[in-house]
Amino acid sequence: MVYAVHFAVAVLACYLIAQVLTRSTWTYDSPRVAIICWQAVGLALGLSAIGLPLAAGLAPYDDGVGTALLRLASGELVPGFGLAHAALVAGGFGVGGVLIGTTVICGLRALSAQRRHRDLLTLVARDDPAAPGALVLDHPSAAAYCLPGVRPTVVVSAGTLSLLDRAQLAAVLSHERAHADERHDLVLLPFTALCRALPWAAWVRAARDTVALLVEMRADDRARRQHMDGALAAALLRFASAPSRVTPAGALGIAEIRTTRPLPITLSIADSHLDARVRRLLTTGRPPRVRGAIALGVTATLVVTTVALFVG
C-alpha cells in the first residue's frame, strides 16, 4: 500500500505545482524554463495517474510496481490478490490506454487537418515579395499562423499585409518561424489531448491555456532577438484592434448579417493573453534565475520520483 500512497502524493504534488505554475507570473520572464516545467508536470501526472491504481492493485505483492507486474505476468499469484485487485491493475492499464490513445488520436486528427489545410493552400495561396518565405491568402481579415510539420509553412493573409508595416511583418514572420522551429505544436499536443480526456477538469484547461500563452511568449522572445521590441508589440496591438477595421470581402449579398452572438469565452482569454504579451515586450525584465532553477529542480525531482516508483 506504501507505493500507492506514494503515487497518490505524486498526483497531489502535480496538481499543486500546476496550480502554482498557472498563477505564477515569473514564468512570463522565462517562458522556456516554464514550458519545460509544465512538460515535466504533465509527464509526472500521467505516470502517477497510471501508477496509482496499479500500485493499489498490486499492493498484496508488497513490491515495486515494475517488479510486482513482472511477477504477476509470470503467473505468480500471492495470497490476498483478489478480483478487486485485478480490477485495479486493469484500471491502471485503462488509464494508460486512454492517455496514450487520446494523444495519438489528437495527433492523427491534427495531422489530417494539416494535410487538408496544406492541400487547400497549394490551390489558393500565393507567394508575395512583401512576405518573403511565407504564403499569402487573399482575404482582408488579419491572420498569421504557422502550419507545422516536417516542412512547416508560414501563412499570412492579405489583411495582415495591409495592417502591418515592414518591420512589424518581419517580426511576426520570425515569431511564426520560431513556432515551426521549436515544434510548439508538439509541445501543446499532450495538453490538448489531456483536455479531451478530461473535458470536465477546469484546471487542465487552465493548464493548457497557460502553456499556450507561454509558447507564444517563447516565440515572441525568439522574434525579439532579431527585431526591435516595439515592432512586435505594435503588431500585436494592431492585430488586437484589427477586426473592427476589416470589411470582409466575399461577403457580398450577406452584408445584412449583423448577428451579435455572445463572444466565446476563448476570446476574452485571448484578450488577456494579448495584454500580458504586449506588456512584457514593452518592459525588459531580468530573467528570474533563482525561481526558474527552483521550479526546474522541483519538477525534475517529481519526474524522477515517479519513474523510480515504477521501476523500484
Partner 1 sequence: MRLGELERAVMDVLWDRGTPLTVREVAEALHNRELAYTTVMTVLDRLAGKEMVERERAGRAWSYRPAASREAYIAQLMLDALDLSSSRDAALVRFARSVSGTEAEVLRAALAEETADGKD
Residues that bind partner 1 (CB under 8 A): 106, 109-114, 117, 119-125, 137-139, 141, 143-148, 155, 157, 172, 175-176, 179-180, 184-185, 188-189, 192, 215-216, 219, 235-236, 239-240, 242-244, 246, 248, 250-251, 254, 257-263, 266-267, 270-271, 274, 277
Q: Minimum Å distance from CB 207 to partner 1?
A: 14
At position 138, the amino acid (one-letter code) is D
In the chain, which ranges are continuous DSSP H helix?
2-23, 31-57, 65-73, 83-124, 158-163, 166-181, 184-197, 202-226, 229-241, 265-282, 289-311
Q: Measured from the CB atom, is 55 or 185 closer to partner 1?
A: 185
DSSP state of 136: E
Q: Minimum Å distance from CB 117 to partner 1?
A: 6
Q: Minimum Å distance from CB 113 to partner 1?
A: 4
Identify whether the C-beta of residue 74 lies closer than 8 Å to the C-beta of residue 33.
no
Q: Minimum Å distance from CB 251 to partner 1?
A: 5
Q: Measured from the CB atom, is 12 or 124 closer to partner 1?
A: 124
Q: Minimum Å distance from CB 43 to partner 1?
A: 19
C-alpha span between 137 and 141 (Å, rounded): 10
Torsion of CA 130, 219, 189, 119, to 10 degrees: 10
Q: Minimum Å distance from CB 84 to partner 1?
A: 38
Q: Minimum Å distance from CB 260 to partner 1?
A: 6
- What is the CB-side half-sphere exposure of residue 160 using CA atoms within 13 A? 25
Torsion of CA 88, 94, 210, 227, to 10 degrees: 140
Identify whether the C-beta of residue 72 lies closer than 8 Å to the C-beta of residue 60.
no
Q: Measured from the CB atom, is 13 or 156 closer to partner 1?
A: 156
Residue with cell 521550479: 295
C-alpha span between 234 and 267 (Å, rounded): 20
Identify whether the C-beta of residue 223 lies closer than 8 Å to the C-beta of residue 232.
yes
Q: Measured from the CB atom, is 109 or 279 closer to partner 1?
A: 109
Q: Which of 58, 35, 64, 33 is nearest to 307 (CA)?
A: 64
Question: N- to C-terminal Cα distance for the chain?
Answer: 14
Q: What are phi and psi of 82, to 5 degrees?
A: -105, -165
